[in-house]
Structure 1
Amino acid sequence: MLIRVDPALPEPLYEQLASGIRASIVDGRIAYGERLPSARALAESLDLNLHTVLRAYRMLRDERMIELHPGRGAVVAVRLGHHTALAGAIHDLVDEARLNGIGESALLALVKAAYR
């Protein structure tokens, strides 16, 4: 699961995190029944406070997107996403390009070249 948060944005970090997870569920990058990382592991990987992750998880629980099971973690509770393989691949491609400093125009050129 590749989620990004930006402390420079005006949106609170927990909302950014919840939005990223929600988008991943909706487009199928995270599937129904899939277990999410533990709050502690996700906090460490994103360099966030544990309570920030817990707040995002509780927000998603209240929206009925995930279920929280004490001692067992968080699990996706909804079946969403159409064309999940393609949508997930596109988002993963864009995320990977951003992580590697590849701009939008360069990425589009690479995709066009792959079609030839």
Structure 2
Amino acid sequence: MLVHIDPSSTVPLFEQVAASLRRSLADGHPAPGQQLPPARELAAALEINVHTVLRAYALLRDEGLIDLRRRRGAVVIGGAPTRARLAELAEDLVREAKRAGVGLDELTGVLKEKYS
């Protein structure tokens, strides 16, 4: 599993680590039940602070993708949202936007604002 970060990016490092791990989880690597690299090892490999990795792991835990346990580390409990799941969420969003009278251009603007 490769984790990529861009130190020159304006995106915080912990978010970059979490996003990279999410992509790996979406690809099924590692699979549910398997462990992520220990935070210290990943931090050393990326040459970043261990607390940055721990913050990324906490974010993934809060999203329900991993479980953090003492002495056991970070264990994958679910995959990242798949394209099919994103399509379901998009349908819900479009339905809610129509119900609220929000047009496509306005909805697109909101998405662009939130995506950046």
What is the aligned partner in structure 1 of residue 22 from structure 2?
22
- Structure 2 unaligned segments of length 5 or more: list them: 83-116
Aligned residue in 2 for 1:94 = none
Shift of residue 29 of structure 1?
2.4
- Once residues 20 and 79 of structure 2 are traced to their aligned partners in structure 1, the CA distance between those partners, rounded to angstroms, is 17
d(CA) in 1 for partners of 2:79, 2:46: 26
Matched residues, percent identical?
50
Q: Is the 8 A contact 1:27 1:81 kept in 2?
A: no
Q: Which runs of 5+ in 1 are unaligned?
A: 83-116
Aligned residue in 2 for 1:60: 60
Q: Could you tell me how far 1:28 is from its partner in structure 2?
A: 1.3
TM-score by length of 2: 0.66
1:51 corresponds in structure 2 to: 51
Instruction: Supply the distance in 2 between the matched residues of 1:44 and 1:53 (Cα, whole angstroms).
Output: 10
Q: How does 1:1-116 map to 2 (within 5 A)?
A: 1-79=1-79
Per-residue deviation, 1:70: 1.0
Question: Deviating runs (4+, > 3 A) in structure 1?
Answer: 79-82
RMSD: 1.5
TM-score w.r.t. the length of structure 1 is 0.66
Greater Rg over alpha carbons, structure: 2
Residue-by-residue CA offset, 1:11-31 (whole Å, 9 max, x unaligned): 000000000001110121221
* CA distance in 1 between partners of 2:59 and 2:80 (Å): 18
The one of the two structures with greater contact order (alpha-carbon pairs below 8 A, sep at least 6) is 1
Q: 1:44-100 CA deviation, whole Å, 9 max, x = no partner?
A: 011010100000000000001000001110000115687xxxxxxxxxxxxxxxxxx
